[in-house]
Structure 1
Amino acid sequence: MLADQFAHISAIHIRRRQEAGIDPRLVMVIRLNAPVDPEDFRRAGIRVLDDTNGRTVIAFADDPQLLEFHARLTAYKAGPAEGNKHPSYQGFLDAIDTGAEYVGDDKISRRLRDHQATVLPEVALVLDVECWHPGDPAAAEEWRNEVRLKVTQLGGEVLDSYLSNSSLLSLLRVRLQSRHVSTIAEMSAVARVDLRPEPLLTMHDVFNATADDLPAVGAPARDAPIVGVIDSGVRDAHPLLAPAMRDTVVLARSIADARDRDGHGTAVTSLVLHGQLEPLLNERQTPDPVCWILSVRVLDDEHQFPDDELWERLLAEAVEYCADHGARIVNLSVGSALTPYSGAKATPVAALLDEVARRRNLVLVISTGNVAAAAYLAEVDADTPHTYVERLGVSDETRMIDPAPAALALTVGAVCHDPQVGALAREAVEQRPLGNADWPSPFTRRGPGMKDSVKPELVAPGGTLAYDDAAHALTQVPALKLVVASARPDRLLGMDLGTSYAAPLVTHVVAGVAGRHPEASANLLRALTLQSAVETRFWQDLTGGSENERRERARALQGYGRARFEEARSSTNHRVVMYGTAGIRADDVQMWEFPVPRSFTQSSGDRELVVALAFDPPTRGRRLDYLASTMQFEVLRGIKPEVVDAIYRAATEDELEATPEGEDSDPPTDEPKSVAEIGRRRIELEPSANARRGGANQLARWRFKHRLRAEEETYLLMVRNVSSWAGEADLQDYAIAIAWVEDSERDPIYVELEARLRVPIEIEIRA
């Protein structure tokens, strides 16, 4: 099989080398099942260009016929030589699964491909082109010059270049029409082609902005929700903030006033009010802030809690103060790096905040905290921009810090934002950002939370670092930061990065939901915010392990995904959100019946079901069973609610614990008689019930393309409350949110679902 694959590679290449404009090198991708020493490849006539993936090697050969490699295959097939147990080259060849030509489509980034779909072929794009460095400086220069020449022949322009023989890095920045991207990608000297982000704002725009350059900000609606921002204070006269300021206070005895001298609180507040500032500033919109701000200062001028006061007391008093003065949502972009979560019992401050949040019906939004890259990376090199995530996801140094593990809070991690949407074009071609869009920021911290619950639940842009190939070090680059309001007296705007700025972007979403649903409980605000989350594709970029294992690793860093403002607030014709609240007793089961769009039973297509659950159980900080009860949900089809209810009420504890995961095949038509048989009516949600059951904030999705069964007009959402130490008579409040999602090119589903809704679930469409 290997012989055929590599012979096919040679045949294709020999044919292509005869075509005009195609250079004669053979570059291939070799997939491995075990590590192989690059020297073994070299002896077989193949030189490794890139083996950072571990199981995928990009290599090239000067000999297009691969004679030396085929000689080894022949010797291997001949069997063991006399006196040997194993065939020649067995370890080397057995480690190779497949070989294929490395084609142009593999080299074009997803971001560039998506952007090309939105522009005409003749539109000029600014591209970052990485060329292969074969290890020989003269050859590297030759390969790069070939790409330069081809760009010029295609009518393009080379804007900048960088070659580092020590880092084996060769980069070009070019301007080229979109129609020619594939031609450049097909060159064997090219390793990768990516879109250089076009800046929404320039450095001059940010650092020299005056009040006249900023959009005119109106006051929030009189009944807009109040959000508490517990931080370093605020520059309350800032033109982006002043109309929305309800009050500013200081609670720490040793801090003189509520003025922000550090700048952190002002930056956080600007993101709570407006979301990401770059589009707002670029388009000169006239924003109406989504909330009023109550600023409570607890941090000193150095962005630290005062040494002479207990930070636990300060934080608890600040949250209580916010609730006393009408706040329904509190942003906490603060924490103690001295108390990383060990993964066992609740941390003291997290337990304290959970108790306050439940008692005062508050939504707390907390950042995971930041970690220095040096804490988990022993060294950095040219591969760090795409290898840092492996250590970030497993190091003990990257666990969340107090109070991020709070079970009832929405905990938020940071992701690298797409600079096209984010801010400024990076200026030096040798400064390469760590990660791709929606990868975990290199400073974000990870979960899981208590009882392996999903923590953080959500992520938002927080910026990233860059690797400087010239300095061989990580550095901060303005292009890779977020634009924020500045507290400096000589400047209105600034730039910064960190999980501190991811949290307020989620707080902005929660405030938007609270403004649309003024009577909503904290549980409902959390459920509606959760259901808006879009899953990132980061797990697909991880290597090693099964799909479930890669998804689990990604969830520890990114939770359920990125919360979205409009999707959290309301429905559209093609994304219909239904929601409801109820109370459930310990060890009880409740059913919610909801309609299936008829069009889903008439044709196939890309569709999705999203379910979110949020509840607020009592907590006990000194117990391993921290939550008084846990809740879980399943979606069932082809079964009546009274049948499910009867089976669960009659089931033994062993039967309930042995509940299997669902199946995606069509359910049987006969009526189930046991919990196990109900399992065949379950829809296989992702993540599974076991993966999410430990948390107070849960989300699951079902993506499907097949046509649904016509006789199944409704599905059931089954919610179960399992007591740990809650009393039998205790009623646990909870909220659910369900969304049907379809392609916007299809017929609307909103009107139909609104008319058919028979259960006590509300439905609302965006104005």
Structure 2
Amino acid sequence: MADRPHFRISSDSVVNRNTDFDGGGRSYTRNDYYSHGQSLLKGLRAINQRIETTKDVVKDRAFLEIKLAPGEKIKDRYKNLQNNAQITVLDVINESTGYGFIKKDDIPYLSSRLRQYSESDEHTGRSYFSFVEELNNIDGFEKLSPQLRKKVEGQAEEKFEVTIESFSNLPREVLELGFIEQCGELIDKNGRIKSSYIHTSGSVVVEVEANQEGVLALAQNLDSIRSMDVSPRVVLPMNHPHAGNIQTLNIKDIEGDAKVCIFDSGTVEGNRYFDPFIINRLNAVLADGYNTYHGSFVASRAIFRENVDDQLATGKLTPHVKVLDIRVFGTDTNGETVSLSESELINVIRQTVRDYHQEVRVYNLSLGFLNPVTDETTLSDLQVTRIAAELDAISKEKDVLFITSAGNINSLYQKMINTPYPNYFSDDATRILPPGENFLGITVGSVATKTENGALGGINHPSPFSRRGPGSFGTLKPEIVVDGGNVTTSGNPDQRLYSVALGENPGDLAYNVGTSFSAPLVSSYAAELFDKIPDVSANLVKGLLLHFSSHPNEIQTYGRTNKLEHIGFGIPDIENCLESLRSKATYVYEGSVPQQTYVKIPFWVPSILANDTTRSGRKKLKLRVTLVWNPITDRRKQMDYSLTHLNMNLFKIGDDGQEKEVQIPVSQLLEPSYKMKFSPTIRVEKEFERSFAGGLWSIQLRMSHRWDVPEEYEQDFALLVSVEDPQDTINVYEEITNEVGIRYQPLIRVR
């Protein structure tokens, strides 16, 4: 048992009260309602004509493009469209443009209402239709991504892999079979279907191999297709592999029952250092052979963590977790990597989590997706990738935590020919690889923890190869960093700089670099927290790791201004995650916020921090607050992907004994504080010198949302508050215990 377990705040002390927000609305004014109405009728007639002639298997609805008037936003008008025009918005293209559908049987009704709007003396229905600029059929060629268009405009007979995604909300019989069958019929001799699945958003995703004729046949004849793109390539980073040999080692008994699932290239059965800690080995890829180097390195980092070289000196290995080993990479007859497609990988992840989520709560993905045309990241600031959205949906449904690697810059030395380190990071091509942009998991980058003459990265600086943030829409990525190795200025190998792990065969010692080998360390930490804290949520495990991460002092000398986009909240401290310090006590609370409700969570600041008269002119109190929640997400809403947000306010006790709100703009906070609307993590760090008193301070939360959120929905969250003596002299933990300790229960399990 920890000597100073964190304080768990009781739900009995939390106060809920209703908010008093009212809604509002506005109309759009036009000079000529008649002409506008006639224009909308013309568009509707073209849409109706298309549905009568389309070859699409979907016959009960028309898919259409909705453009709104200047200044109008789809997210503000979608309910009006649904209630009064019978148009359901499915996807957001930009703020004023969306794709949607109208049932065939509702077209006469809308036509009648538009005629009334256009031709009546009062232009009845102005508030329902005046804000709509255009109703159009969707151009099939516009559904092709720019990369796919280039492919199609190339050689006619060349076949390439294409990912097709349907609109959501299709009829069940179409969703389950009809759409896939029609894709197959349309490409016929010009391609083949490789795999398919139903995405969490409700769309059908089909991966095909097709030539120019097949792609155009799909785009021109299947109105229910939402988008078509060149299939992304799953990569398994491999850099600077080096090996050594070790003598026989003793292995300590594992303490606890922490478990991690690893999707990688697998481990070799019969390795006496791995076998005792493998829960199960499952092969999800059919291949001619299997190279287990990468998978073994990742597994070693999870099981034995980063200090294998130190453990070698003692002759004993300390295991921390057990591993569920899922092989998703193999090799062909030439030794080249064979991987699952995106849809195949998603199906494997889904099935694995479905089967094991009650036993295994942490899932490691040390892999990434590259654009096969540009060989660069597929990250987008318009929409998260399908696999990132799937990870978020699985995380929320099963309350598990995905740990993903930020990815490596494979063209590092090529970039350095024209741009020196670290200036090449100004190129957006150095941003993280999907699925690292997921919102509910943790993305891990690498820092250099070793240096020698000729090393490129400085101590505790971002590793020169470690991809940077931000994630999609400017969100903070990677959130944390740990050891992943360093490289040389010349590009020559120097294993003294590398990360160390046990090799795939007994007696092998492996040296390598990469964020692939950083991620499993964090997965191991997360699994330990799940094991040691009773009934803990994924929100709280994520919150603990982020809350107890800090920027190293050396980062101040790093050559780029924006440190957050490289190292996020910093380097995590697993020991602090489990135990408060003498001068820094931490409160923890897990709960939920109903809609239209303020939730006020109290915590105690000991009076000695305010009353110490020897500290005149010096900081007396430091607060660190971290809030994590798992929002509803919807990939179809593009930049509005996260639908729920928690607004946070801090209240202190002033020196007059009255409660007062504390303003916490990021500009007035200590690094690495972070707040961004609809990004599901808030961290604030602030010091106080005067105008405060000890007593019951509080954090107040309120949920806001956009688009449709069920009325009964409550947003789950985890909150952590650390109360610290910035001078590190007062026993804050003991003072709280003496003053109000009976109010709080210890956080961790007694073993």
Question: Sequence identity, in percent?
Answer: 22
Distance in 2 separating the partners of 1:360 and 1:565: 24
TM-score by length of 2: 0.60
**Aligned to 1:467, what secondary structure does the other structure show?**
coil
- 1:634 deviates by 3.6
Alignment-derived partner of residue 344 in structure 2? 313
Distance in 2 separating the partners of 1:688 and 1:276: 25
- 1:507 deviates by 1.1
Alignment-derived partner of residue 414 in structure 1? 446
Alignment-derived partner of residue 453 in structure 1? 475
- 1:595 deviates by 1.2
> 1:651-700: per-residue Cα shift (whole Å, max 9, x none)?
xxxxxxxxxxxxxxxx888776xxxx763899943469874444223333
- Matched letter for residue 499 of structure 1: T
Distance in 1 separating the partners of 2:652 and 2:523: 35
Q: For 1:358, which of 384, 396, 399 is the aligned residue?
A: 396
1:334 and 2:364 matched = no
Change (3 A) 1:256 1:718: farther
> 1:411-450: per-residue Cα shift (whole Å, max 9, x none)?
011111135xxxxxx4xx4xx1112111111111111123
- Matched letter for residue 310 of structure 1: S
Change (3 A) 1:575 1:449: same
Distance in 1 separating the partners of 2:741 and 2:676: 28
- 1:286 deviates by 4.7
Alignment-derived partner of residue 609 in structure 1? 623
- 1:565 deviates by 1.5
In the TM superposition, what are the counterparts of 1:425-436 in structure 2 within 5 Å? Answer: 426=452, 429=453, 432-436=454-458
Change (3 A) 1:242 1:690: closer
In the TM superposition, what are the counterparts of 1:262-411 in structure 2 within 5 Å? Answer: 262-278=292-308, 280-284=310-314, 286=316, 288-301=318-331, 306=338, 309-325=340-356, 326-338=359-371, 339-374=377-412, 377-379=415-417, 388-392=421-425, 394-411=426-443
In the TM superposition, what are the counterparts of 1:433-448 in structure 2 within 5 Å? Answer: 433-448=455-470
Distance in 2 separating the partners of 1:373 and 1:541: 25
- 1:538 deviates by 5.5
- Matched letter for residue 406 of structure 2: T
> 1:173-196: per-residue Cα shift (whole Å, max 9, x none)?
xxxxxxxxxxxxxxxxxxxxxxxx
**Aligned to 2:543, what secondary structure does the other structure show?**
helix
- 1:274 deviates by 2.3
Distance in 1 separating the partners of 2:353 and 2:370: 24
Distance in 2 separating the partners of 1:634 and 1:564: 27
Q: For 2:260, which of 207, 227, 233 is the aligned residue?
A: 227
Alignment-derived partner of residue 152 in structure 2? none
Instruction: Confirm or deny: 8 A CA contact 2:651 2:698 kept in the other structure.
Output: yes
- Matched letter for residue 442 of structure 2: L
> 1:449-496: per-residue Cα shift (whole Å, max 9, x none)?
23322111111111111113xxxxx2331011011110146x421101
Distance in 1 separating the partners of 2:269 and 2:627: 37
* Greater RCO (CA < 8 Å, at least 6 residues apart): 2
**Aligned to 1:464, what secondary structure does the other structure show?**
coil
**Aligned to 1:273, what secondary structure does the other structure show?**
helix
Distance in 2 separating the partners of 1:328 and 1:744: 38
Alignment-derived partner of residue 180 in structure 1? none
Q: For 2:501, which of 467, 472, 484 is the aligned residue?
A: 484
Q: For 2:598, which of 586, 589, 602 is the aligned residue?
A: 589
Distance in 1 separating the partners of 2:665 and 2:262: 46
Alignment-derived partner of residue 643 in structure 2? 628
Instruction: Confirm or deny: 8 A CA contact 1:612 1:699 kept in the other structure.
Output: yes
Distance in 2 separating the partners of 1:502 and 1:632: 32
Instruction: Confirm or deny: 8 A CA contact 2:626 2:721 kept in the other structure.
Output: yes
Alignment-derived partner of residue 581 in structure 2? 572
- 1:323 deviates by 4.6
Alignment-derived partner of residue 503 in structure 1? 519
**Aligned to 2:663, what secondary structure does the other structure show?**
helix
Instruction: Confirm or deny: 8 A CA contact 1:369 1:400 kept in the other structure.
Output: yes
- 1:512 deviates by 1.9
Q: For 1:599, which of 599, 608, 627 is the aligned residue?
A: 608
Distance in 2 separating the partners of 1:683 and 1:336: 35
> 1:28-61: per-residue Cα shift (whole Å, max 9, x none)?
xxxxxxxxxxxxxxxxxxxxxxxxxxxxxxxxxx
Distance in 1 separating the partners of 2:642 and 2:682: 15
Instruction: Confirm or deny: 8 A CA contact 2:543 2:720 kept in the other structure.
Output: yes
- 1:206 deviates by 7.3
- 1:629 deviates by 0.5
Alignment-derived partner of residue 486 in structure 2? 464
Distance in 1 separating the partners of 2:316 and 2:607: 41
In the TM superposition, what are the counterparts of 1:185-196 in structure 2 within 5 Å? Answer: none
Instruction: Confirm or deny: 8 A CA contact 1:534 1:563 kept in the other structure.
Output: yes
Instruction: Confirm or deny: 8 A CA contact 2:539 2:717 kept in the other structure.
Output: yes
Change (3 A) 1:517 1:567: same
- 1:575 deviates by 3.1
Distance in 1 separating the partners of 2:571 and 2:251: 28
- 1:373 deviates by 4.3
Distance in 2 separating the partners of 1:388 and 1:415: 15
Change (3 A) 1:372 1:356: same
- Matched letter for residue 713 of structure 1: G
**Aligned to 2:251, what secondary structure does the other structure show?**
coil
In the TM superposition, what are the counterparts of 1:111-190 in structure 2 within 5 Å? Answer: none
Instruction: Confirm or deny: 8 A CA contact 1:233 1:265 kept in the other structure.
Output: yes
**Aligned to 1:526, what secondary structure does the other structure show?**
helix
> 1:138-162: per-residue Cα shift (whole Å, max 9, x none)?
xxxxxxxxxxxxxxxxxxxxxxxxx
- 1:586 deviates by 3.2
Distance in 2 separating the partners of 1:763 and 1:613: 17
**Aligned to 2:467, what secondary structure does the other structure show?**
coil
Instruction: Confirm or deny: 8 A CA contact 1:612 1:697 kept in the other structure.
Output: yes
- 1:292 deviates by 1.9
- 1:227 deviates by 1.1
Instruction: Confirm or deny: 8 A CA contact 1:215 1:284 kept in the other structure.
Output: no
1:241 and 2:274 matched = yes
- 1:710 deviates by 6.2
Change (3 A) 1:735 1:680: closer
Alpha-carbon RMSD: 3.3
**Aligned to 2:500, what secondary structure does the other structure show?**
strand
Number of equivalent positions: 493
**Aligned to 2:370, what secondary structure does the other structure show?**
strand
In the TM superposition, what are the counterparts of 1:636-675 in structure 2 within 5 Å? Answer: 636-638=651-653
- 1:332 deviates by 0.7
Distance in 1 separating the partners of 2:549 and 2:461: 15
- Matched letter for residue 580 of structure 1: Y
- Matched letter for residue 440 of structure 1: P
